[in-house]
Amino acid sequence: MTGFGIGEATLGHGRLVVELRSLNHRFLDVRVRLPPELAEHAFFVEHAVRGCLSRGRFEVNVRIEGAALPIPRLSLERARAHYQALASLRDELAPGTELPISAILSVPTLLALPEPAETNALRATLDKALRFAVERLEAMRECEGEALRKELSERLENARSLRGRVARQSAGMVACVRARMRERLQHLLDDVNVQVDAGRLELELALLAERTDISEELTRLASHFDQFDALLAAGDAVGRRLDFLLQEVGREANTIGAKCQDAALSHLVVELKSEIERMREQVQNVE
């Protein structure tokens, strides 16, 4: 489901702001964008998001406002060591030449690493801002989820209605098929002088009729619809289970369509399959 949430938390003389956007996706996909000063915390942020959310594509954008981070400290020991090493090299290769202090300014290791307490405080602030963003995102997604639940419930009732119509229209289909096959066979036998074993004939007719019997498929459809209804009423993440259930529903509908020998019944099955496909499209948006 789609949604947006923003959270912020105070750090130092500034604050960290986390913006969280969600898009529809079958699986969990987290994308994190951090300012360069926080790049080393990307895995921490991604792990925190994965711990809070379960399905969808989430874009996390973190920004720093004000003087939230301490000024980087220069390591004097490292600066001296680098300058002395360059001075020794200068004396060996080009004695007497000038060696400006700017020669060591581009060395990345001159800045001291943050203290563990600073790192812990930063991550605690990141986590706090992220949780605020998740809460607001979830509130928006709950509104969308309720709308989706209502629509899926309506489509489920439509599918149930179509299944009932298929059941009523197919009530005498097996007997009809047997009678029609018997009539066709008798018509063929009228033109030839051949004796047919009555027992074998009944067996073959029974086998042909069984191939058009959709009672088992209709029973399984009713069971799947009941399970779908129960999942819609559940409070946890059910998107993947609903998706799997609709795959089974689709298989039953396809089998019914393959067994149909009646044009009007086939039209009903096509309507049922269309309704199921609409439900599957909407279920992709459910967490």
The confidence band for 276, taking pLDDT boundaries of 50, 70 and 90, is very high
In single-letter form, the type of residue at position 46 comes to: E
Task: Please spell the DSSP secondary structure of the chain, one letter per residue.
Answer: --EEEEEEEEETEEEEEEEEEEE--SSEEEEEE--GGGGGGHHHHHHHHHHH--SEEEEEEEEEEEE-SPPPPB-HHHHHHHHHHHHHHHHHHSTT----GGGGTT-GGGBPPPPHHHHHHHHHHHHHHHHHHHHHHHHHHHHHHHHHHHHHHHHHHHHHHHHHHHHHHTTTHHHHHHHHHHHHHHHHHTTS-----HHHHHHHHHHHHHTT--HHHHHHHHHHHHHHHHHHH-SS--HHHHHHHHHHHHHHHHHHHHH---HHHHHHHHHHHHHHHHHHHHHTT--
* 264's tokens: 């009007």
Q: Are 43 and 94 in contact (CB under 8 A)?
A: no
Q: Which tens digit of pLDDT belongs to each residue from 107-127?
A: 766 665 555 657 788 889 999
Give the integer Cα–Cα distance in Å for 17 and 10. Answer: 9
* 160's tokens: 């149930």
Reply yes or no on whether the pLDDT at 147 is more than 80.
Answer: yes
Burial (CB count <10 Å: 0-12, 13-18, 19+), residue 173 = buried
Q: Which tens digit of pLDDT belongs to each residue from 179-232?
A: 666 666 666 666 666 666 566 666 666 666 667 778 888 999 999 999 999 988
Average the pLDDT over 233-249 and give the result: 85
Q: Could you tell me the pTM of the whole model?
A: 0.61
According to the 3-state scheme, what is the secondary structure of 184-209?
HHHHHHCCCCCCCCHHHHHHHHHHHH
Mean confidence (pLDDT) of the chain: 82
Q: Identify the residue with better confidence: 77 or 38.
A: 38
pLDDT given at position 170: 77
Reply yes or no on whether the pLDDT at 155 is more than 90.
Answer: yes
CA-closest candidate to residue 213, choices 259, 165, 248: 259
Q: Biggest alpha carbon distance in the chain?
A: 124
